[in-house]
Amino acid sequence: MKRLALALTFMFSVSPALAHDHAPKPRVAVTGCAEPILACARSATPAFGPGGKVWIVWSAAGQVFVSASQDRGGSFAEPVAVSEQPPATIDDNGEARPKLLALADGTLVVVYGVRVDKSYNAVTMISRSTDGGQSFSTPVRLLDEVGQRFETLVAAPGGRLYLAWLDRRNQRAAKAAGQIYNDTGVAVAWSDDGGVSFAGKRILADYSCDCCRLAATIDRDGLPVYAWRHVYGKNLRDHAVAKLSADGAALTPLRVSEDEWAIDACPMHGPSLSVDPAGSWHVAWYTAGKRRQGLFYARSDDGGVTFSEPQGFGHPARPPSRPQVMASGEQVWRLWKEFDGVTTTVMAQSSADHGQSWDAPRPVAATADASDHPLLVNDGAVPLLSWLTRAEGYRLLPLAPSH
């Protein structure tokens, strides 16, 4: 069998080239970017406070850092370490990522996952800053048990914080009992003291796909709504939405669409969810189901009971991915990634009629190297693209409707 000769680069350590008809292939060396700097981060997630203050949270070198900006993301101050512990395996692949919430009183709450074993079991850690991000409290574990991932943190107008995550406690219990249960639960907790302590912490819905992010937002009545890739039947990985009941005891999944994606695999591609001022729920997701493939959007005007016919979006020849949807005032925005073989472009479009019709998709930013998932965020005034790219660094770009 002939061997493959690869161009050798500085990245690879090479075995001695001995006279041998089977030239050894280059061996992989550790190439990691391991410095505690933003340039080594895989993801960065923003939070917005009053007065145009922006913070981003990111991880590098096994630590979580927060950087503050006084000029709406134009420049960032020296990063502050959220923890001073020995380096840990931070759960940060873009789909899972550290998150940050700026509360109305100026408190910052950071949540992140630390993976504790090779099976991707993580523990959720919480840390707070009450001095505007100059220092952070020693991170504490949300639960003693392991098996949390994809934590989300949202604040209701009354000040209550809702923390939700995908939870493997039932899976681990089943495994310990010799039973097979490969899926994950959705658990919710809440805090009335700005993230110091949390109540609830129970699994309220079962059978979530365990590798896709959970999406969270707050409905008009102050209760949280979630969207996730559910596992229907044996292995149909289609999407569900669910709103937490007022007593915090129930979270009933309602199906967004019947894509019929039967797959025993990890799509690692979760949905996005937003509630507009009129109370409609907007969902965007990726599927490769029997009935449809690509990025889709649907709206529910009745709290998730019924959804509009899924609308496809993105250029099919440039595999669109990582959809985001967000209502911003009277507009609804969606954005996503496209790749043409050379350049990754973030595309965006907006709707002025609650998602019935959309203006032409247009490029917002591009890169020709590795990039984080693009995030659609709002600083309280305008919708923005938040995007960390290897070549360009962190960017926060305002979006303007074309109509």
Partner 1 sequence: MTRFVVPRSLILLAVLAVMLTAPAWAGELRPFVRGSHAALVKEYAGRPLVIHFWSLTCAPCLVELPQWRDVQRRHPEMDLVLVATDSPDESAKLERTLARAGLSGVESWVFADSFAERLRFEVDKSWRGELPMTQLVGRDGKIEAVTGSVTAETLKTWLGGRGGVKP
Residues that bind partner 1 (CB under 8 A): 1-4, 6, 11-12, 16, 18, 20, 22, 24-32, 93, 118-120, 182, 210-211, 235, 263-269, 286, 288, 293, 317, 319, 321, 337, 339, 341-342, 344, 369-371, 390
Q: Least distance to partner 1 from the beta carbon of 237, Å? A: 10
Beta pairing class for 331-339 and 321-328: antiparallel
Q: Which is nearer to partner 1, 16 or 86 (CB)?
A: 16
Please report how close the Cβ of residue 374 comes to partner 1 at its closest, in angstroms: 12
- HEC-encoded secondary structure of 213-230: CCEEEECCCCCEEEEEEE
Shortest distance, position 118 Cβ to partner 1, whole Å = 7
Min separation Cβ 174 and partner 1, Å: 14
CB of 214 to partner 1, least distance (A): 17
Long-range contacts of 128-134 (CB under 8 A, 24+ apart): 128/194, 128/195, 128/196, 129/66, 129/80, 130/106, 132/53, 132/68, 132/106, 132/108, 133/55, 133/66, 133/68, 133/80, 133/108, 134/80
Q: Which is nearer to partner 1, 29 or 278 (CB)?
A: 29
Nearer Cβ to partner 1, position 92 or 379?
A: 92
Distance of closest approach, residue 12 Cβ to partner 1, in angstroms = 6
Structure tokens at 26: 């280059």
> How many beta carbons lie within 10 A of that of residue 25, not counting itself?
14
**Which CB, 185 or 383, lies closer to partner 1?**
185
Shortest distance, position 11 Cβ to partner 1, whole Å: 7
Q: Which is nearer to partner 1, 167 or 379 (CB)?
A: 167
In whole angstroms, what is the distance from residue 108 CA to residue 307 CA?
A: 35
70 phi and psi angles, rounded to 5 deg: -95, -5
Round to whole Å and give the CA distance between 365 and 27: 35
Which CB atom, from 91 or from 379, has the smaller least distance to partner 1? 91
Whole-number minimum distance, CB 294 to partner 1, in Å? 9
E strand segments, 54-198 = 54-60, 63-69, 80-81, 99-102, 108-115, 122-129, 140-141, 148-155, 161-167, 184-191
CB 17, CB 3: distance < 8 Å: no
Residue closest to 140 by CA, chosen among 91, 96, 195: 195
| Cβ proximity to partner 1, 239 vs 299, nearer residue | 239
Among the listed residues 65, 45, 46, the one whose alpha carbon sits nearest the alpha carbon of residue 54: 46
Q: Which is nearer to partner 1, 28 or 360 (CB)?
A: 28
Q: Rg for the chain (alpha carbons), in Å?
A: 22
